[in-house]
Amino acid sequence: MMEQGKHIRLGHGSGGKLTHDLVTGLFLKFFDNEILAKQGDSGLFLLDGVRRMAMSTDSYVVDPIFFPGGNIGSLAVSGTVNDLAVTGADPRYLTAAFILEEGFSIEKLEEIVREMAHIAEEAGVRIIAGDTKVVNKGKCDKVFITTAGVGFLEERLAHIAGGERVRPGDRILINGYSGDHGIAILGERESLTFTSPVLSDAACLNGLIRDITRNHDVHFMRDATRGGVATVLAELAALSKRPAAHKMGLSVDETAIPIREEVRGICEVFGYDPLYMANEGKVVAVVPGHQADDVLERMRSHPLGRDAAIIGTVVEEHPGKVVLQTEIGGKRLLDMLAGEQLPRIC
């Protein structure tokens, strides 16, 4: 790993290949244990040998801290809640640690904290511990937040995080428009003026996930954050590279992935690929083929899943790879994000 240079580059925080190298080559090497080694969205463990638990943590450094559709506080709560929820766990308790820059407005901090409380209450989680640190002006950028969370995981859902049950014939769903968060941040940063601004999709997904896991077999879930839908799909396809896994690839229909007109247009202008644009309220779920329509309907009846869609199928062909049917009917591969599309997106 890290053949080039001995310094951290922005790409190391992108959630793409460089991050992966850093995690496996450094953190995993020293924090070596079987729970971390699974590298899921949350660490899963047994409490006293009986109760299944999920634990997760995430830091938020988004720039700007206020953006259309939310602020750094909304991300700090929903991000960690979602990391727990996509493993199938029921998120219960969060902690929140703040690093504040000297001179930062208390009024703005209050706005952020109020938003966190509001979102947490809606999601049914409680923030039960915290920490506050202040650094000299210029030593951090306004406010950085770290949250951690725990949740309980039912036995019957414990397989979701590992995706062991994913097999050819399964269908792939997403709960709505892809790329909104990335464009909301970009729009704010570049002072783009829209007739109607694209709002960040930041939201807690535990309610929607509870709806679809209650009566259906969900084989795999992951929230598509940094690196976008493309990166999650690439990770899903990579499951087949594990020993004893089903040999399988993904076939995805580009035109089936919901993307807003505005998002498509802005990506066109900036040369970004909307499939790699960040989301903060999108889950990619894999379900058995015969249940796909029911799950889709269930998603669509939830406010956060109104624009849900079936976007692809798990197939036996091209194992380990995602083949995308392009909008013009051509075929190409879809891989993880390499390098950095937009730094400090969350």
Partner 1 sequence: MKYITEYRDKELVRILVDKIHAYRGPQVRFMEVCGGHTMAIQKFGIPSLLPDNVALVSGPGCPVCVTSLQFVDHAIALGRRDDFIITTYGDLIRVPGSSSSLEQEKSRGSDIRMVYSTLESLSIARDNPGKKVLFLGIGFETTAPASAAALVQARKENLDNFFVLSAHKIMPPAMAAIVNEDVKLNGYLAPGHVSTITGAGIYRDISGKFGLPVVVAGFEPSDILQSIHMLLEQLRTGNISVEIQYKRVVTPEGNLKAQKMMQDVFRLRDDWWRGLGILPLSGLGISDAYAQWDAERVFDIEVEPTQEPEGCICGEVLKGVSHPTECILFDSVCNPSNPVGTCMVSEEGACQAFYKYGTE
Query: With respect to partner 1, which residue has the nearer C-beta, 220 or 272?
Result: 272
* Cα 27 to Cα 7: distance, rounded to the nearest angstrom: 16
In whole angstroms, how close is the CB of 336 to partner 1 at the nearest point?
Answer: 9
Q: Are strands 66-67 and 70-71 parallel, antiparallel or unpaired?
A: antiparallel
Question: How many residues in the shown chain lie near partner 1 by CB under 8 A?
Answer: 33
Is there binding between residue 316 and partner 1 (CB under 8 A)?
A: no
Out of 109, 169, 323, 344, the only residue in the binding site for partner 1 (CB under 8 A) is 323
Q: Are strands 126-135 and 90-101 parallel, antiparallel or unpaired?
A: parallel
Out of 17, 219, 222, 302, the only residue in the binding site for partner 1 (CB under 8 A) is 17
In whole angstroms, how close is the CB of 154 to partner 1 at the nearest point?
Answer: 38
* Cα 233 to Cα 238: distance, rounded to the nearest angstrom: 9
In whole angstroms, how close is the CB of 329 to partner 1 at the nearest point?
Answer: 6
Is there binding between residue 343 and partner 1 (CB under 8 A)?
A: no
Which of 239, 336, 283 has the alpha carbon at shortest distance from 15? 336
Out of 138, 243, 271, 303, the only residue in the binding site for partner 1 (CB under 8 A) is 271
- Whether 130 and 164 have beta carbons less than 8 Å apart is answered as no
The residue length of the chain stands at 346
Out of 102, 110, 268, 297, the only residue in the binding site for partner 1 (CB under 8 A) is 268
72-85 and 106-123 helices, crossing angle to 10°: 30
Is there binding between residue 179 and partner 1 (CB under 8 A)?
A: no
Query: With respect to partner 1, which residue has the nearer C-beta, 285 or 324?
Result: 324
* Cα 236 to Cα 233: distance, rounded to the nearest angstrom: 5
Torsion from C-alpha of 260, 265, 271, 277, nearest 10 degrees: -20
Q: Which of residues 205-264 bind partner 1 (CB under 8 A)?
A: 261, 264
Among the residue ranges 15-23, 99-107, 139-147, 215-223, the one whose residues contact partner 1 (CB under 8 A): 15-23
In whole angstroms, how close is the CB of 225 to partner 1 at the nearest point?
Answer: 19
Query: With respect to partner 1, which residue has the nearer C-beta, 246 or 318?
Result: 318
Q: Are strands 43-47 and 51-60 parallel, antiparallel or unpaired?
A: antiparallel
* Cα 178 to Cα 274: distance, rounded to the nearest angstrom: 7
Out of 324, 342, 345, 346, the only residue in the binding site for partner 1 (CB under 8 A) is 324
| CB within 8 Å of 55: residues ≥ 6 apart | 42, 43, 45, 84, 148, 149, 150, 151
* Cα 134 to Cα 101: distance, rounded to the nearest angstrom: 6
In whole angstroms, how close is the CB of 265 to partner 1 at the nearest point?
Answer: 5
In whole angstroms, how close is the CB of 227 to partner 1 at the nearest point?
Answer: 12
Q: Which of residues 21-80 bind partner 1 (CB under 8 A)?
A: 21
Contacting positions for partner 1 (CB under 8 A): 2-5, 7-9, 11, 16-18, 21, 261, 264-265, 268, 271, 273, 318, 323-333, 335, 338-339
